[in-house]
Amino acid sequence: SWHVALDRVSVIYPNGTRALKDVSLRIEPGEMVSIVGLSGSGKSTLIRTLNGLVQATDGSVTVGPHTVNTLRGRGLREFRGHVGMIFQGFNLADRTDVYHNVLVGRFAHSPAWRTLLGMPSAQSRDIALRALDSVGMLDKLWARGDALSGGQKQRVAIARALTQEPSVMLADEPVASLDPPTAHAVMNDLRRVNRERSLTVLVNIHLMDLARQYTTRMIGLRDGEIVYDGPANTATDAD
Ligand code: ADP
Ligand code: ADP
């Protein structure tokens, strides 16, 4: 599992918006951290800076052994193979069954044609099935993507990310489009993944209650700056 560090990172978008201002933080391997703040406070930008989707304008971004802000091309692709990403929108293939949706996570590790032709290695198969078991979706193996509820889709997306055997998991508003009970279930899955695999997990949430309940450390952003960094369970809205 990897650590994550930002050292005096600023992000200024081409239109001049300063989305992160001189942000420094360090997250140890195996931590379960929430990033909270109002819409527009810089949460997505922070996550995207960590996977190299957004370039830091200033400062340095380190994830495990990689200095992300210096990676390009092949090095960046290889790095992303080790980063599990979860989005609000799930991004599953509708007409493809759960099993093959999850096997896609092996692209980074075995030739894509094997997966596309339905010829995954025995190891890939085992890893995919174990991942689906972790999120309680083994019984939906042959269901098509479009036959799943939002919560089930997000669990399959988590399984797909786990199938990459990631060293860190980044989740950008993973429960924002789910109803409260389903949001709790998905947060619970993320926490289980964090504990069982000692996997570093960073999750953006705009709901403080979920952050308090399911993460151990909370980082609060306001206008691109860290205004809180501490235990999640004692953090108040005023923080
Ligand atoms: P969120 O608040 O959940 O990040 P937004 O609605 O702010 O969602 O953003 C949706 C998309 O639009 C994102 O890809 C984001 O990068 C982009 N975006 C947000 N604000 C701007 C902006 N001022 N100019 C251009 N793109 C933007
Ligand atoms: P959050 O995830 O907390 O909603 P974001 O990181 O999406 O915050 O946005 C932080 C700020 O950067 C906002 O002012 C937003 O409008 C702006 N922003 C986000 N993406 C872009 C973009 N691609 N281009 C320009 N501005 C953006």
Give the pLDDT confidence of 7-25 residue by residue, as tens digits. Answer: 999 999 999 999 999 999 9
Lateral strand order in the sheet of 217-222: 83-87, 168-172, 200-204, 32-36, 217-222, 225-231
pLDDT at 163 over 80: yes
Gap from CA of 124 to ligand 1 centroid (Å) = 35
Q: Whose CA is nearest to atom 23 of ligand 1?
A: 17
Q: What is the Cα–Cα distance from 116 to 179, expressed in whole angstroms?
A: 34
pLDDT digits (tens, 9 = 90+) for 111-131: 666 666 667 888 889 999 999
pLDDT at 109 over 70: no
* The pLDDT of residue 115: 64
Q: Whose CA is nearest to atom 14 of ligand 1?
A: 44
At position 183, the amino acid (one-letter code) is A
ipTM exceeding 0.90, yes/no: no
* The pLDDT of residue 44: 97
Residue from 36, 44, 88 to probe ligand 2 pocket by mutation (most atoms less than 8 Å from CB): 44
236 CB within 6 A, ligand 1: no
Q: What is the Cα–Cα distance from 78 to 190, expressed in whole angstroms?
A: 24
CB-based contact 104:161 (threshold 8 Å): no
Ligand lying closest to the C-alpha of residue 23? 2
43 CB within 6 A, ligand 2: yes
44 CB within 6 A, ligand 1: yes
